[in-house]
């Protein structure tokens, strides 16, 4: 996706309204947006509400591939920052790749909270589940086909082809369970 950001002038400064993370000199395991934790790309980590980047459509989790035609796939964090903040450029043209919003949020939540992603993939589109650890879960309501294990319960389900797998779990007493406490 191509995004054009018109920098906002504040005194002598030109403001973009976003922050970046990543780079070939950074630890990729600390990047909440990298799927395989080996990606050393440059990612958008924060977008200022109402700022130039948000107005242009930039989103948290976007991976920056180019800045004004310059390749950004193998640069250090500092090189990326310098390319973005050149004083003589009032317009920044970005080429970005974007994960789905749901996927970006799930990956961010994995590293920032105790929520984990037990995503299933049907070959085209990821069906996501968020699970939270809880001490007192009724044992019969585990949803093993979704990858949810003991002491976890389903918080959110994104509808799709995997729903039949989730609802087909049978409890220990032989009754069919929907995976939702109190429902059969």
Based on the domain organization, do 70 and 22 belong to the same domain?
A: yes
Q: Give the total number of structural domains in the chain.
A: 2
Give residue 73's domain range. Answer: 2-98
Work out the average pLDDT over 67-82.
96
In a domain, 40, yes or no: yes
Residue 103's pLDDT band, with cuts at 50, 70 and 90, is low
Work out the average pLDDT over 118-138.
41
**What integer pLDDT is reported at residue 34 of this predicted model?**
79
**What integer pLDDT is reported at residue 64 of this predicted model?**
97
Based on the domain organization, do 64 and 123 belong to the same domain?
A: no
The domain boundary, picked from 47, 63, 98, lies at 98
Instruction: Say if residue 127's pLDDT is above 90.
Output: no
Based on the domain organization, do 23 and 71 belong to the same domain?
A: yes
Can you give the pTM of this predicted structure?
0.55
Based on the domain organization, do 89 and 136 belong to the same domain?
A: no
Work out the average pLDDT over 66-76.
96
Q: What is the CATH number of the domain that holds 90?
A: 2.30.42.10
Based on the domain organization, do 82 and 119 belong to the same domain?
A: no
The three-state (H, E, C) secondary structure of the chain, written as one string? CEEEEECEEECCEEECCEEEEECCCCCHHHCCCCCCCCCCCEEEEEECCCCHHHHHCCCCCCEEEEECCEECCCCCHHHHHHHHCCCCCCEEEEEEECCCHHHHHHHHHHHHCCCEECCEECCCCEECEEEEECCCCCHHHCCHHHCCCCCEEEEEECCCCCHHHHHCCECCCCCECCCCCCCC
In a domain, 15, yes or no: yes
């Amino acid at each position: 996706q191509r995004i054009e950001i018109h920098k906002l002038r504040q005194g002598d400064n030109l403001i973009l309204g976003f922050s970046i993370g990543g780079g070939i000199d950074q630890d990729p395991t600390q990047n909440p947006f990298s799927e395989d934790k080996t990606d050393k790309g440059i990612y958008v980590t924060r977008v200022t509400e109402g700022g130039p980047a948000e107005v242009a459509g930039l989103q948290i989790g976007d991976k920056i591939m180019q800045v004004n035609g310059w390749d950004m796939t193998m640069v250090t964090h500092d090189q990326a920052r310098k390319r973005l903040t050149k004083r003589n450029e009032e317009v920044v043209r970005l080429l970005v790749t974007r994960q789905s919003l749901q996927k970006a949020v799930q990956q961010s939540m994995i590293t920032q909270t105790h929520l984990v992603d037990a995503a299933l993939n049907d070959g085209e589109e990821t069906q996501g589940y968020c699970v939270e650890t809880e001490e007192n879960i009724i044992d019969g309501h585990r949803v093993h086909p979704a990858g949810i294990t003991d002491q976890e319960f389903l918080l959110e389900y994104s509808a799709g082809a995997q729903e039949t797998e989730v609802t087909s779990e049978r409890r220990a007493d032989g009754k069919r369970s929907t995976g939702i406490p109190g429902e059969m």
